[in-house]
Structure 1
Amino acid sequence: MIEWLKKVSLFDNLNDEQLEHILRIANRRTITAGSILFHEKEMGLTFYVVLAGSIKLFTKSNTGEEKVLSLVNSGESFGELSLLDGRPRSASAQTLETTTVLELSSEQFMALMQTHFDITRGILAELCRRLRQTNEHVNDLTFLDGRTRVLKNLITLANKNGKRDGNLISIHMALNYDELAQMAGVTKPVLSEVIRELEQRGVLQFGINEYKLNLLKLRG
């Protein structure tokens, strides 16, 4: 278990004794695909670290339309925002596949932040990253066309989660077409059209829960 924690960027600067302490106070849970961890507008009581699997963070409009905000993979954390400001959850969280998480209560989370500055700094860096990401997404929706947004989103996911082998980057992908379209801020027909074009050019290869980007064809 401690080897799993060493893969979590938030805990990069902690020693084995400190990591063992986190394991003692945290609750480890394996959750089936499609499970809701919390709903938007609920009060936040728990901080999560993903050890394996993936989770989508999303919001819903008054008409029930869903918007995927981000994808959280193994080694990443989420759920700290409402613990820090005491306000309700800003999004809902749902597992995309069987997922194992570590759960820390609000009290445990705040105690860790008080005693480990490296964790506090990591949380602040993650919040800054998400703010920059939100600003960039607003800019993309304002100035980029649908095709460019889809391509940029695929490249961003590849850079974040992909494994490179020569000119090919393989990306494990638990999101479906609807969710990919929501992340890119386009309609499903636009997404399908762009993906068909990229497949015809040999830039993109789709498989089961995976896609591959050919960097050589992408640059061509």
Structure 2
Amino acid sequence: MIDRLRKVGLFDSLSEEQLEQVLKISQRRAFPPGTVLFGEKEPGTAFYIVLSGSIKLFTRSAAGEEKVLSVAGPGDSFGELALLDGGPRSASAQTLEPSLLLEISSEPFMGLLQAHFDIARGILVELCRRLRQTNEHVNDLTFLDDRTRVLKNLIALANKHGKRDGLFITIHVALNYDELAQMAGVDKRILSDVLRELESRGVLQFGLNEYKLNLSKLRG
């Protein structure tokens, strides 16, 4: 378990002794697919580290339309923000598949931060990284065309969740077309058109809940 924690962005600079302190306040929990871990605007009482499976983080408009913000996979953490600022949740979280998580409750987590500056610093670094990603996403929605946004989103998922074998990257993603379109900020019809085009060129190959990206075709 220590090795798994060491791969988490929040904790990758911690010593083994400090990681043991994190484990002491953690609870391992398994969830079936479709479980809502918390809802937008709810008070934050815990945050989570993904050991296996995947979680979608999303918001809903006043009209009930869903917008997928990101997908958390093994080694990712989510839900820290509401614990740190005391505000309500900024998004909802739902399992996409059977998932095993570490849950860390608010009170022991804040005590850990007070006792270990390195952990607090790691969290600040991670939150800054996410802020930069948000700024980049806003910039993409403003300046990039639909096709480029879809392609960039697929490459981002490949970089984060993919497994490379030579010139191929296989990405396991338990998202449907609606959710992929939401992440790219495009209409589902446009997403389908772009995916069909990439498949016809041999850039993408599709399987069950996964796709394979051919880097040689992408570069060509």
User: What TM-score, normalized by structure 2, do the two folds share?
Assistant: 0.96
Q: What residue ranges of structure 2 are gaps of 5+ in the alignment?
A: none
Matched, 1:212 2:180: no
Distance 2:136 2:25 in 1: 37
Matched, 1:188 2:181: no
**Letter paired with 1:60:** R
State the match for 1:23 in structure 2. 23
Matched, 1:131 2:131: yes
CA deviations 1:148-175 (Å, max 9, x no partner) are 1000000111111211111111111111
CA contact (8 A) 2:9 2:126 kept: no
CA deviations 1:114-165 (Å, max 9, x no partner) are 2222221221111111111111111111111111100000011111121111
CA deviations 1:74-102 (Å, max 9, x no partner) are 11111111111111100000001111111
State the match for 1:53 in structure 2. 53
**Letter paired with 1:110:** M
State the match for 1:96 in structure 2. 96
CA contact (8 A) 2:203 2:214 kept: yes
Query: Which portions of structure 1, spanning 4 or more consecutive aligned residues, are displaced by more than 4 angstroms?
Result: none
Q: After superposition, where does 1:166-205 map in structure 2 within 5 Å?
A: 166-205=166-205
Q: Which moved more, 1:74-83 or 1:111-120?
A: 111-120
State the match for 2:69 in structure 1. 69
* Aligned-residue offset at 1:105: 1.1
Q: What residue ranges of structure 1 are gaps of 5+ in the alignment?
A: none
* Aligned-residue offset at 1:110: 1.0
Matched, 1:35 2:35: yes
Distance 1:79 1:167 in 2: 35
CA contact (8 A) 2:25 2:109 kept: no
Matched, 1:111 2:146: no
State the match for 1:84 in structure 2. 84
The secondary structure found in structure 1 opposite 2:164 is strand
Distance 1:96 1:12 in 2: 26
**Letter paired with 2:54:** S
* Aligned-residue offset at 1:64: 0.7
Distance 2:74 2:143 in 1: 32
Sequence identity, in percent? 73
Q: Which moved more, 1:195-204 or 1:105-114?
A: 105-114
* Aligned-residue offset at 1:9: 2.9
State the match for 2:9 in structure 1. 9
Distance 2:23 2:30 in 1: 15
Distance 1:47 1:144 in 2: 33
User: What TM-score, normalized by structure 1, do the two folds share?
Assistant: 0.96
Cα pair distance change 1:9/1:135, threshold 3 Å: closer
The secondary structure found in structure 2 opposite 1:44 is coil
The secondary structure found in structure 2 opposite 1:11 is coil
Aligned-CA RMSD value = 1.2
